């Protein structure tokens, strides 16, 4: 089975066949064990022992934590198109969600406001800290879903923005 | 003073566990208190008794003097250990314990009131001849804005009832003052139930040096050496060590003497911490006394061999300190790293959820103080500190290498932590060289994004493997549910001990 | 001698993990070896590289010199640490390493041969003026049965290649001799691949006292004090401590001198242990020298602050000992408890299976050396030692209280362990009073079955609760799948962070 | 719901109603949490905190480990008969099973031999130790299921015995 894999932007051809992996054509012996039922894998790659945590964050997209470094990897079967992926990525980005549960202690923006990248949309109190939620890019406030005093759950939408296309493109490159 | 037989621990998390352990080792009975968020927390599981003190929000449970005292009465505890944070520095709580006939494991409430009120404490120490940092409190009449002008920017907003960086804010320009005051007051309110704040001048390039002191009710006060806590984020300590690289023997001796002066003039009993700022020229300024057990007390225990919590319990029971200053011998070096439930890749946003798996490091020279376990729920209600790693070594280098080894072994699934951040920190030349001050972390250090070809390749293969398994393709006739068994010959072990 | 940069650890379990940790802390690269039973074992997970050396049975993997050497060559390791057990005391292995150009982290093979052969060692030490226990080896000509008659019963069968109690058998009567010899030889064969045995007279009421020694290639030998290991079952140590309650300062000094004499006369390098029997009248007899790292080395590390494994690696790299005898200072007391996968309620039958959950104790003064984790498979192929708890305290009493605290915290599901047995042991007046010898455990101690009304009531309720839940009866509209949530109000926490 | 519970031979009436337990008529407040999905329970019984491991070993029978002591408890709904339980218990006991996986290194008994309680039937090597498997009571060897050199799995039958009734009774009392 062949895959097109991009790590931090670089593309690789990876083929998995039995316990052999072809990495851009170079054969490697692979032996993997999952630890319990955790997203944690003990890997022997040509006898190099590493333990990696692999978490899916969106279709074809994975966050891989390895030796204290985080790598964002996208994997798609050779032949399929990345387009679907991008559009999905884009859509989800219009909505600013709460990164953690907490209490809304400030919501300074109004529907219709134009906000700059990084401008604070909402302040969440969680774990005794004030956590400002910034706008990911310049745009216009389309909806404000919460009010001061609300307690929100993780991933609950707090504000919906409208972006101009070029910003999205720019951000995507940055985000890769 | 009364005999201590049954101790109510008015706290949660790793420090509650720490105190319960000390009690058990002294043969004392322990009473835990818990909010609805903590019924299955480790401190409840390990205590002899446990009482509910309210719903999840701290204000209605761990900060409720009435509920805690009620639990103490119902459980017939004879004493209360407050730990740190929550009610530890609240003189009304210490007083309530006293009036209920409970022995409070800490200094008496007048001392707590004096020292807990940072402004009061600064006045007292100045009078005692201890150098302090210039602040808005020196001219109480004036309003805070003109005080800011006089001190000059940048400056620091501090909660009068403060501690642990809560309610603390850096202000660079007059414009920032207003909003910063608002945030600081709100944080102070939610952390201490008191939103009074004051301003302090910034000591440029300062290092945070503190001394652990211990006192008994007979006027004996000793110190257990210094600790350096300059590695801070948002005014919250992340890494502490003892001894400090920054002190010469002579300077250490002088600061130690001042720490003892501070302790003696306050007739200090129990464990406390005298905090100083040390500037580049070797001038040091009194910051505050924390009249309680300190988060980082463990590093001092590692190099001295003392158990500070046990000593607190002994002196609270009216016994004399078992040590004189000359008994205190420092062996080796100890460093603490605070493991926080924060995502270093998302601007350190708090990370909550169920811990689905955890493996904490162990072995030579490693001490872990933790409140988490497999299945534990990390909630948004409390501090993000979930665990502390303390590494001891014969030298500072040994301790750092041990810490790196330990951080590398740490596994935790279900929540994000600051471990990757700490790993890079302990690898940074500035930290290894001891070249840092309190501004280091926020001004001269950032999470590296350097490329590592070899690792990127491994990451790529790992992600591909998982995607491959997800698609149910099973090379070697394996089973996608347990990918491990999909590879290689199946050893006789499966056959025998399945 | 050669530089050491990459170390192959020719072992498994907790000791392999221990050695890997020391290597990492020295910045050395590590190579693990594993049998098919151990692919996912902790030592494989923590090493930089890992090589398969054969199927599960030790004889075909961890005991295969050819396979281990092959792995060392393939991995381009420059050195090999054997740990304890397996090939650690096999001179042919040490020699094979040397001939392959690998630095063997241990004494040279002639020394191992001399000391590993218990009979040879006894002859050598007797010549050096060290007192030894009478044995069948003193008249080699005679056959073993007449030797037994001469020594008199009870006596002890020992494997010439022995260690760790393997191949050791107590013989009370002439009738028992034949069968016992058979069992002992079979055990010795499977443990060391050598079934030669000899007989030793029993020293009545003896305590097992040993000294940890360290030597370098420049003739320097020091000792790190004594260890008492009299608490044994089936000749296997279960609890070790340092210092020993049984030694006066004068006796400790004399035995230490003899230990150094033994080490120097053998021109000993690396870490080793000189074992003695001490009778009730203060007479001591040389037992053997274990030319390797000892299971219980950690207690000596806790009181001296040294890292014995790191020192082994340094001297193996040709460096001088970093310590002179006068540098060694003993601080406090340390006790080790071996956690074994055995069922104390089923005559200590080995217990195997998947560890479905484990919580190991931590906190002040507690050091855990372990090879298990949640999901780890305990197999029948290897030693039943899964974990070691070491407790340090300022006094022996403090250390015992800490150990009890730690054992009480230990949670492990999926396999049975000897923890309940150890808890009762540390609570027994004889142990606390230091009144024991090597026969204590088997002759004067047994698992109590005393009744505890209060606990029986709790046990009854617990079982009833589980049966009740199993029947799917759900009071409070709870959910039998997660009984916990069936009870009490559901706190806001579930609502927020579910 | 009412239960008849026997611990180490003593009988108790236990009734569970909501979060209240009636222990021989005495009311207690009970709050239980299971730790993960382990057979481990954090119990608050009138605020006394204990952590117990509860493992089922046979119908109505439980092994409870608590503060380093093992208690064998039998629980049956009030009204039902213990008989069924006993017969089950009895049947299983004719067969001596391997308490752990291992290698058979000796099998000294023959079919038809009369063996005394505690007499060695088979020796298993496991974890580098020789483990003799004794006869639980006096009886006659009915079947020998293994031979020297066999490797057996946990709970695999090694020998089947035939007991005389009185021994069984005696053993059961002892076993309670």
pLDDT per residue over D104-126, tens digit each?
989 999 999 999 988 999 998 88
C484/D64 Cβ within 8 A: no
* Average of per-residue pLDDT values in chain A: 85
pLDDT recorded at residue B164: 64
SS (H, E, C) C193-245: CCCCEEEEECCCCCEEEEEEEEECCCCCEEEEEEEEEEEEECCEEEEEEECCC
C352/D126 Cβ within 8 A: yes
Exposure string (b/e) for A69-79, b if CB count within 10 Å is 16 or more?
A: bbbbbbbbeee
Q: Does B461 touch chain A (CB under 8 A)?
A: yes
Nearest to C497 among B27, B55, B377 (CB): B377
* D81: closest CA of chain B, how far (Å): 36
Is residue B207 flagged as an active site residue? no
A-chain residue closest to B188, CA distance: A128
pLDDT per residue over D11-20, tens digit each?
999 999 989 9
What distance in Å separates the CA atoms of residue C443 and residue C447, rounded to the nearest whole number? 12
pLDDT recorded at residue D85: 45
Q: List CB contacts (< 8 A) between C41 and chain A.
A: none
Cβ–Cβ contacts within 10 Å for residue B411, how many? Answer: 19
Residue C201 clears pLDDT 60, i.e. is over it: yes
C352/B492 Cβ within 8 A: no
pLDDT recorded at residue B495: 28
* Average of per-residue pLDDT values in chain C: 91
What distance in Å separates the CA atoms of residue B202 and residue B170, rounded to the nearest whole number? 9
Q: List CB contacts (< 8 A) between D12 and chain C.
A: 457, 460
Residue C141 clears pLDDT 90, i.e. is over it: no
Q: Which of B458-462, C22-26, C270-274, C482-486 shows the lowest mean pLDDT across its residues?
A: C482-486
pLDDT recorded at residue B489: 31
Residue C231 clears pLDDT 90, i.e. is over it: yes
Give C163's pLDDT tier (boundaries 50, 70, 90): low
B401/C21 Cβ within 8 A: no
Strand-pair partners of B370: B387
What distance in Å separates the CA atoms of residue C195 and residue C187, rounded to the nearest whole number? 8
pLDDT per residue over C266-324, tens digit each?
999 999 999 999 999 999 999 999 999 999 999 999 999 999 999 999 999 999 999 99
Edge-first strand order for the sheet with A157-162 is A95-97, A157-162, A139-144, A114-115
User: What's the ipTM?
Assistant: 0.87
pLDDT recorded at residue D36: 86
Q: Which of A80-89, B427-436, C53-62, C332-341 shows the lowest mean pLDDT across its residues?
A: A80-89
What distance in Å separates the CA atoms of residue B311 and residue B271, rounded to the nearest whole number? 8
Q: Which of B489-493, C231-235, C425-429 shows the lowest mean pLDDT across its residues?
A: B489-493
D51/B496 Cβ within 8 A: no
Give C1's pLDDT tier (boundaries 50, 70, 90): low
Q: Are strands B49-54 and B29-35 parallel, antiparallel or unpaired?
A: parallel
What distance in Å separates the CA atoms of residue B15 and residue B21, rounded to the nearest whole number? 10
pLDDT recorded at residue B327: 96
Give A173's pLDDT tier (boundaries 50, 70, 90): very low
pLDDT recorded at residue B225: 98
Average pLDDT over residues C460-466: 96
C49/A47 Cβ within 8 A: yes
pLDDT per residue over A96-110, tens digit each?
998 888 889 899 999
Q: List CB contacts (< 8 A) between C373 and chain B.
A: 359
Nearest to C51 among A47, A51, A151 (CB): A47
Average pLDDT over residues C155-172: 84
Helix (H, G, I), strand (E, B) or coil at B130: coil
DSSP string, B413-481: ESS--SHHHHHHHHHSHHHHTT---TTHHHHH--------HHHHHHHHHHHHHHHHHHTT--GGG--TT
pLDDT recorded at residue A165: 61
Q: List CB contacts (< 8 A) between D28 and chain C.
A: 461
* C75: closest CA of chain A, how far (Å): 8
Interface test with D, best of B9, B20, B49, B73 (most D CBs within 10 A): B49
Q: List CB contacts (< 8 A) between B497 and chain D.
A: 101, 153-154
Interface B-C, measured as beta-carbon pairs within 8 A, has a size of: 145
Residue A142 clears pLDDT 80, i.e. is over it: yes
Q: List CB contacts (< 8 A) between A99 and chain B.
A: 343, 346, 349
pLDDT per residue over C69-94, tens digit each?
999 999 999 999 999 999 999 999 99
The rounded percent of chain C whose pLDDT value lies above 90 is 79
Interface test with B, best of C23, C224, C363 (most B CBs within 10 A): C363
What distance in Å separates the CA atoms of residue C164 and residue C86, rounded to the nearest whole number? 11
Average pLDDT over residues C6-24: 98
pLDDT per residue over B133-178, tens digit each?
999 988 777 788 889 999 999 999 999 887 667 788 889 999 999 9
Average pLDDT over residues D133-151: 90
Average pLDDT over residues B73-81: 98
Interface B-D, measured as beta-carbon pairs within 8 A, has a size of: 37
What distance in Å separates the CA atoms of residue C90 and residue C63, rounded to the nearest whole number? 10
C-chain residue closest to D126, CA distance: C380
Nearest to B36 among C353, C365, C491 (CB): C491
Q: List CB contacts (< 8 A) between D98 and chain B.
A: none
* Average of per-residue pLDDT values in chain B: 91
A36/C497 Cβ within 8 A: no
* B494: closest CA of chain D, how far (Å): 11
What distance in Å separates the CA atoms of residue B9 and residue B20, rounded to the nearest whole number? 7
Q: Does B324 touch chain A (CB under 8 A)?
A: no
Give C482's pLDDT tier (boundaries 50, 70, 90): very low
- DSSP conformation class of C491: -
Partners of chain D (3+ Cβ pairs below 8 A): B, C
D-chain residue closest to C451, CA distance: D8
* A116: closest CA of chain B, how far (Å): 18
The rounded percent of chain B whose pLDDT value lies above 90 is 79
pLDDT per residue over C168-181, tens digit each?
888 999 999 999 99
Q: List CB contacts (< 8 A) between C484 and chain B.
A: 40
Give A82's pLDDT tier (boundaries 50, 70, 90): low
Q: List CB contacts (< 8 A) between D52 and chain C.
A: 458-459, 462
What distance in Å separates the CA atoms of residue A112 and residue A115, rounded to the nearest whole number? 9
Alpha helices in C223-350 (DSSP H): 249-265, 297-304, 308-316
**Chains A and D are touching, with contact defined as 3 or more CB–CB pairs separated by less than 8 Å:** no
Average pLDDT over residues B91-102: 97
pLDDT recorded at residue B181: 92
C452/D69 Cβ within 8 A: yes
B183/A100 Cβ within 8 A: no
Residue B440 clears pLDDT 90, i.e. is over it: yes
Tokens of C209: 């006292």
Q: Are strands A139-144 and A95-97 parallel, antiparallel or unpaired?
A: unpaired
B45/D35 Cβ within 8 A: yes
Q: List CB contacts (< 8 A) between B75 and chain D.
A: 47
For helices B419-427 and B396-409, angle between their N-to-C axes, nearest 10 degrees: 150
* D169: closest CA of chain C, how far (Å): 20
More confident residue, A173 or D57: D57
Residue D62 clears pLDDT 90, i.e. is over it: yes
The rounded percent of chain B whose pLDDT value lies above 70 is 94
C332/B401 Cβ within 8 A: no
Q: Does B355 touch chain D (CB under 8 A)?
A: no
pLDDT recorded at residue B299: 98
B-chain residue closest to A72, CA distance: B459
Residue D23 clears pLDDT 90, i.e. is over it: yes
A35/C39 Cβ within 8 A: no
Q: How far is CA A27 from the centre of its chain?
A: 30
Q: What CA–CA distances, in Å, run from B199 to B56, B170, C124, C254?
A: 33, 10, 78, 66
* C247: closest CA of chain D, how far (Å): 32
* A141: closest CA of chain B, how far (Å): 22
Question: How far separated are the first and last CA of chain D, in Å rounded?
Answer: 24
C352/B409 Cβ within 8 A: no
pLDDT recorded at residue A86: 44
Average pLDDT over residues C52-63: 96
B409/C493 Cβ within 8 A: no
* A98: closest CA of chain C, how far (Å): 12
**Considering only CA atoms, which of B166, B271, B148, B275 is closest in space to residue B221?**
B271
A50/B413 Cβ within 8 A: no
Q: Which of B73-87, B131-145, B378-392, C353-367 shows the lowest mean pLDDT across its residues?
A: B131-145
pLDDT per residue over C84-132, tens digit each?
999 999 999 999 999 999 999 999 999 999 998 888 899 999 999 899 9
Q: List CB contacts (< 8 A) between C48 and chain A.
A: 48-49
B497/D101 Cβ within 8 A: yes
Q: Does B410 touch chain A (CB under 8 A)?
A: no
**Which of C12, C227, C233, C292 is an active site residue?**
C292
Nearest to D101 among B48, B51, B496 (CB): B496
């Amino acid at each position: 089975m062949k895959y097109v894999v991009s790590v931090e932007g670089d593309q690789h051809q990876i083929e998995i066949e039995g316990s052999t992996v072809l990495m851009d054509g170079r054969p490697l012996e692979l032996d993997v064990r999952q630890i319990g039922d955790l997203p944690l894998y003990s890997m022997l790659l040509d006898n190099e022992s590493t333990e990696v945590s692999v978490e899916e964050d969106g279709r074809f997209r994975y966050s891989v934590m390895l030796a204290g470094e985080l790598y964002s990897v996208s994997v798609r079967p050779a032949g399929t198109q990345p387009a679907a992926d991008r559009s999905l990525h884009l859509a989800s980005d219009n909505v600013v969600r709460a990164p953690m549960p907490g209490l809304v202690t400030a919501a300074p923006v109004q529907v219709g406001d134009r906000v700059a990248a990084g401008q604070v949309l909402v302040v969440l109190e969680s774990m005794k800290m004030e956590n400002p939620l910034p706008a990911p890019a310049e745009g216009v406030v389309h909806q404000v879903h919460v009010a001061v005093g609300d307690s929100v759950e993780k991933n609950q939408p707090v504000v919906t923005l409208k972006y101009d296309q070029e910003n999205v493109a720019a951000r995507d490159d940055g985000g890769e | 003073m009364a005999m201590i037989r049954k101790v109510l621990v008015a706290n949660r998390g790793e420090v509650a566990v720490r105190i319960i352990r000390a009690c058990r080792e002294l043969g004392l009975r322990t009473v835990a208190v818990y909010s609805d968020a903590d019924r299955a927390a480790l401190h409840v599981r390990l205590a002899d008794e446990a009482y509910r003190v309210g719903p999840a929000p701290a204000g209605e449970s761990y900060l409720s003097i009435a509920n805690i005292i009620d639990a103490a009465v119902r459980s017939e505890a004879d004493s209360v250990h407050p730990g740190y944070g929550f009610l530890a520095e609240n003189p009304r709580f210490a007083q309530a314990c006293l009036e209920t006939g409970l022995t409070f494991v800490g200094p008496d409430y007048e001392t707590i009131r004096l020292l807990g009120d940072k402004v009061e404490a600064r006045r007292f120490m100045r009078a005692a001849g201890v150098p302090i940092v210039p602040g808005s409190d020196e001219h109480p009449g004036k309003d805070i804005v003109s005080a800011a002008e006089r001190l000059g920017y940048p400056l620091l907003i501090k909660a009068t009832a403060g501690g642990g960086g809560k309610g603390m804010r850096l202000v660079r320009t007059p414009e920032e003052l207003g909003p910063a005051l608002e945030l600081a007051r709100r944080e102070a309110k939610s952390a201490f139930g008191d939103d009074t704040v004051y301003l302090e001048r910034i000591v440029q390039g300062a290092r945070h040096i503190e001394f652990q002191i211990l006192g008994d009710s007979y006027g004996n006060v000793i110190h257990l050496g210094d600790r350096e806590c300059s590695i801070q984020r948002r005014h919250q300590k992340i890494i502490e060590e003892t001894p400090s690289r920054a002190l010469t023997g002579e300077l250490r001796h002088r600061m130690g003497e001042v720490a003892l002066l501070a302790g003696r003039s306050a007739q200090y009993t129990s464990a406390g911490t005298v905090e100083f700022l040390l500037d580049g020229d070797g001038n040091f300024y009194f910051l505050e006394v924390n009249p309680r057990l300190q988060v980082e007390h463990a590093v001092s225990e590692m190099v001295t061999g003392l158990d500070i919590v046990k000593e607190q319990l002994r002196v609270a029971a009216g016994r004399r300190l078992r040590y004189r200053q000359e008994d205190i011998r420092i062996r080796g070096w100890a460093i603490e790293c605070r493991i926080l439930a924060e995502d270093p890749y998302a601007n350190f946003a708090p990370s909550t959820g169920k811990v689905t798996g955890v493996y904490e490091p162990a072995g030579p020279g490693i001490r872990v103080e933790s409140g988490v376990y497999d299945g534990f729920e990390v909630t948004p209600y409390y501090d993000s500190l979930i665990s502390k790693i303390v590494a001891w070594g014969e030298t500072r280098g040994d301790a750092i290498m041990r810490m790196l080894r330990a951080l590398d072994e740490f596994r935790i699934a279900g929540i994000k932590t600051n471990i990757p951040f700490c790993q890079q920190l302990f690898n940074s030349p500035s930290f290894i060289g001891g070249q840092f001050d309190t501004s280091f972390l926020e001004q001269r250090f950032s999470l590296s994004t350097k490329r590592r070809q070899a690792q990127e390749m491994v990451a790529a293969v790992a992600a591909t493997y998982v995607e491959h398994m997800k698609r149910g393709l099973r090379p070697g006739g394996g089973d996608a549910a347990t990918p491990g068994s999909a590879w290689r010959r199946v050893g006789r072990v499966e056959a025998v001990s399945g």
